[in-house]
Structure 1
Amino acid sequence: MKKRLSRWMFLPALLLLLAGCGPAAHIEKDQAFNFSNYKTFAWVDQDGAGRNDRNKNNDIAETNIRAAVSKELTKAGWSETKRRPDILLSYDLLVERSTVQNNDPVYSQPFYRTFYSPYYRRYFIVNYPSQFIGYDRSERTIKEGTITVNMIDAASGKTVWQGWATDEVNNRNISSKEIEAAVRSIFKKADLAKR
């Protein structure tokens, strides 16, 4: 019994660790917006620029973002349609350079000193432990990728919901795994399944 119980004790710690590993997601929505009023969606270019849109520069990223968002919405019971959708979807992808400041604590080196005591007629070793001196501040340049998903009410043309996630990426183009993780965290924050 104890052996089985000890196996399950690590599960909450593992879940907390995994929950902190995804990109940070943020949500903004219209106060009147309710997910239960919408069931169909379609993809559009919000500005109508088509092939000149900066989102179109990377067709692979566009395909991956649309597939990841469609997957999350389909899991929540929505369906994609070309005829009279409830919601129009658009996205924005931005990869930019940013700097991160690191503040690493600095400690002095511990050392020992030897003293002779004439009273006891012997040597004593005194330990001086390391002490906090301050911080070593440094900066490094990183690439930060941000995916933003917009939901536009098809009837009114108003943006009713917006979600975005930002995370450090390895190169100029964001990978499919990074896209999936970002979109998953956005819709996890939106919590579509409960609505």
Structure 2
Amino acid sequence: MKTVKLLGLLFLAAFVVSGCAAVAHIETDETVNFSQYKTYAWTESQVQDSVQKRKVSDLTERIIKDAVQVELEKQGWVESKQKPDVLLAYDVLVEKSIRDQSNPMFSRPFTRYMFNPYSGRWFGLHYPSQFLGYNNFSQEVREGTVTISMADARTEKTVFQGWATDEMSGRNLTKKDIQSTVRSIFRKFDTVKR
């Protein structure tokens, strides 16, 4: 019985964690056989922050490249400066967005005391909370979109593009945000390769 409870808790934890990941979208060239690719190299990327119109730091660039490298190494790919199979590029876009939220509102439960003149005692009537409706409001959030593009080095045609948008946990893209987004994109890449 304890094993069933433990497995249930593990399943619930996995479900909650997977629900927190950014939803990735991909586009691929259907005519390409991805198993022929084993090496890659980076190209120049366009990085922009639409909120403050500034270039993203070199630290963020290194974090993105490291996260992609980890995912590609899992696939058996190697970075090569000489005659790579594919060229990789990334784009980052950080922008403000409005999210509409709706929270349910309930009245407070209370107890009303009354005197019963026939029994000569006080008794309490409990009134439970009642649903009053929804409190609707808008909240400004910052969203970060990371796009990974892969082009065939010989033909220079884009063969894969994956992107994911997620709400940022702070003012800037954090290492955790970037790694989660890149992982989401390459989870979809795994399904393309098969």
Q: How does 1:26-65 map to 2 (within 5 A)?
A: 26-45=25-44, 53-54=46-47, 57-65=56-64
Whether 1:139 aligns to 2:135 is no
Over the aligned positions, Cα root-mean-square deviation in angstroms equals 2.8
Mapped to 1, the partners of 2:143 and 2:13 lie a distance apart of 27
Bigger mean CA offset, 184-193 vs 174-183: 184-193
Q: TM-score, normalised by structure 2?
A: 0.80
Q: 1:2-21 deviations in whole A, cap 9, x for unaligned?
A: 33443333222222122112
Distance 1:102 1:24, change over 3 A: same
Mapped to 1, the partners of 2:106 and 2:126 lie a distance apart of 15
Secondary structure of 1:191's match? Answer: helix
Mapped to 2, the partners of 1:172 and 1:5 lie a distance apart of 42
Aligned residues, how many? 186
Q: How does 1:83-102 map to 2 (within 5 A)?
A: 83-102=82-101
Mapped to 2, the partners of 1:42 and 1:146 lie a distance apart of 22
Q: TM-score, normalised by structure 1?
A: 0.79
Secondary structure of 2:5's match? Answer: helix
Q: Among the aligned pairs, what percent are the same residue? A: 45
Residue 166 (structure 1) aligns with: 165
Q: How does 1:121-132 map to 2 (within 5 A)?
A: 129-132=128-131
Q: 1:107-151 deviations in whole A, cap 9, x for unaligned?
A: 3455677999xxxx7899876654434321101111111110001
CA apart distance, 1:194: 6.4
Secondary structure of 1:82's match? Answer: coil
Residue 22 (structure 2) aligns with: 23
CA apart distance, 1:64: 0.9
Mapped to 1, the partners of 2:56 and 2:168 lie a distance apart of 18
Structure 2, gaps ≥5 residues long: 49-54
Structure 1, gaps ≥5 residues long: 47-52
CA apart distance, 1:174: 1.1
The AA in structure 2 aligned to 1:9 is G
CA apart distance, 1:157: 1.3
Residue 150 (structure 2) aligns with: 151
